[in-house]
């Protein structure tokens, strides 16, 4: 056999030797099913939001729908509830071991203390963290952890019916308690309307207590201790009772809620009341002919003026399906400048982001003034873990003081004792 032919056979045999195992392996595995790539994991966000107006639900439903279209692997279960039933909804969810992944609320410290909340520092994107107003973020920080982030804010002021003021001969909004009493008396004397709207219902008792506590030089807490029954606070509650006893308030402070009082004012049957800056958006829509004005919260004569702010927050409960990446995406979408600006403008809120705040203030002197006031406002003691319990206990104080002959001193002594008891854990 020629040498070249012999070498060719050797090379062919080597190739066949290499291919044979592969061919046999292919035949043996011909019935094995092809490998399927694992399904991408879906994420669930249960979002419970409070209803601020008739605008809230459609706004959030539209936003959630747009978000899900852009993020098809993230499902957002949205519930929008009136403040009257909000607590009941999320407490029921918690009792069933299905807490919301995201909750819009105004109380949270007790949940944080019990270890139920996520730390937003582990969720928020750097972009979102950097555009929230620092003073509001700091207020929602406990023991170095960010258990809540600001969602919307307001400042409270005195709103009044200009035509009733003119009819009563009042030339300027009252700034002190004595001026408030005199203005209410003049309005009442016209026979056309009640003087001053006071809300001591479940919704706003803590707000009106705050107005007269801070307005008298008092406070809820000082140096980490409750000061509810301080002489200043007792004097403030006594002032509210005096207004009621003299017939200078609306007739049903413990029945008629703030939103109803705003309508009564819009109808020309109430001279003035304290409300949030959303008044200027919500009430004129319903009463376009209303001529209204705004002034400061009246304070005790000789006491420096006060600014009082309220901010609602978002909290995130620890769940068996918590997905921090999905939550971060949804928060970025929620606070996206265009989405967030539309919401605060339609609801009448103050923004909590510097980007939207700067933009709106640039074209609106009232917005600029309100944001400046917010930066130095006094707030509820939301960082106190017993605040929820104190708030609940205070809700029936109006009936006790106005109708059941409990003195302001006795009522605040009881609330002080309750607060101190709840704070001991």
Each residue's pLDDT tens digit, 324-346? 999 999 999 999 999 999 999 99
What is the pLDDT at residue 349? Answer: 96
CATH number of 43-152+311-372: 3.40.190.10
Question: Using CA of residue 241, residue 263, residue 278, residue 80, what is the dihedral sign?
Answer: positive
Q: Is 102 helix (H, G, I), strand (E, B) or coil?
A: strand
| pTM flag (> 0.95) | no
Q: Quote the CATH superfamily of domain 155-309+383-423.
A: Periplasmic binding protein-like II (3.40.190.10)
pLDDT confidence bin for 14, thresholds 50/70/90: very low
Domain-wise residue ranges, the chain = 43-152+311-372, 155-309+383-423
Q: Taking all residues of the chain, what is their mean pLDDT, rounded to a whole number? A: 91
Same topology for domains 43-152+311-372 and 155-309+383-423, yes or no? yes
What is the pLDDT at residue 31? Answer: 52
Distance (Å, whole) CA 334 – CA 340: 6
Mean pLDDT of 35-53: 83
What is the pLDDT at residue 41? Answer: 86
Distance (Å, whole) CA 56 – CA 81: 10
What is the pLDDT at residue 84? Answer: 83
What is the pLDDT at residue 203? Answer: 87
What is the pLDDT at residue 83? Answer: 87
Each residue's pLDDT tens digit, 74-108? 999 999 999 889 989 999 999 999 999 999 999 99
Contact partners, residue 322, CB within 8 Å, separation at least 6: 101, 118, 316
Each residue's pLDDT tens digit, 249-305? 999 999 999 999 999 999 999 999 999 999 998 999 999 999 999 999 999 999 999
Per-residue pLDDT at 423 exceeds 50: yes
What is the pLDDT at residue 34? Answer: 55
Per-residue pLDDT at 120 exceeds 80: yes
Contact partners, residue 225, CB within 8 Å, separation at least 6: none
What is the pLDDT at residue 19? Answer: 41
């Amino acid at each position: 056999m020629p040498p070249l032919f012999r070498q060719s056979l050797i090379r062919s045999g080597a190739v066949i030797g290499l291919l044979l195992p592969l061919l046999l392996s292919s035949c043996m595995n011909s019935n094995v099913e092809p490998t399927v790539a694992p399904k991408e994991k879906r994420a669930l966000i249960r979002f419970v939001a409070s209803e601020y107006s008739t605008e809230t639900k459609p706004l959030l439903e539209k936003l959630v729908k747009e978000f899900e279209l852009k993020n098809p692997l993230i499902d957002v279960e949205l519930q929008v509830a009136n403040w009257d039933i909000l607590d009941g909804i999320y407490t029921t969810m918690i009792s069933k071991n299905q807490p919301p992944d995201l909750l819009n609320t105004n109380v949270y410290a007790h949940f944080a203390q019990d270890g139920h909340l996520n730390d937003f520092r582990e969720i928020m994107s750097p972009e979102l963290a950097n555009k929230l107003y620092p003073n509001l973020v700091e207020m929602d920080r406990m023991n170095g952890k960010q258990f809540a982030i600001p969602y919307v804010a307001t400042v409270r002021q005195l709103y009044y019916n200009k035509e009733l003021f003119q009819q009563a001969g009042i030339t300027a909004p009252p700034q002190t308690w004595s001026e408030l009493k005199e203005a209410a008396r003049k309005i009442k004397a016209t026979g056309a309307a009640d003087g001053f709207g006071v809300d001591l219902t479940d919704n706003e008792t803590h707000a009106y207590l705050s107005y007269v506590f801070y307005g008298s030089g008092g406070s809820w807490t000082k140096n980490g201790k409750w000061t509810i029954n301080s002489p200043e606070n007792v004097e403030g509650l006594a002032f509210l009772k005096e207004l009621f006893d003299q017939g200078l308030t609306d007739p049903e402070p413990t029945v008629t809620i703030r939103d109803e009082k705003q309508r009564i004012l819009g109808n020309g049957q109430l001279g003035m009341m304290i409300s949030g800056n959303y008044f200027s958006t919500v009430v004129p829509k319903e009463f376009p002919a209303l001529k209204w004005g705004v002034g400061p919260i009246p304070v005790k004569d000789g006491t420096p003026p006060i600014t009082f702010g309220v901010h609602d927050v978002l909290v995130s409960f620890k769940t068996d399906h918590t997905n921090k990446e999905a939550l971060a995406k949804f928060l970025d979408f929620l606070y996206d400048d265009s989405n967030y600006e539309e919401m605060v403008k339609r609801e009448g809120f103050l923004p909590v982001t510097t980007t939207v705040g700067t933009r709106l203030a640039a074209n609106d002197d009232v917005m600029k003034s309100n944001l400046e006031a917010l930066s130095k406002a006094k707030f509820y003691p939301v960082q106190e873990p017993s605040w929820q319990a104190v708030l609940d206990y205070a809700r029936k104080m109006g009936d006790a003081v106005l109708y059941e002959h409990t003195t302001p001193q006795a009522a605040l002594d009881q609330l002080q004792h309750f607060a101190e008891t709840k704070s001991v854990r």
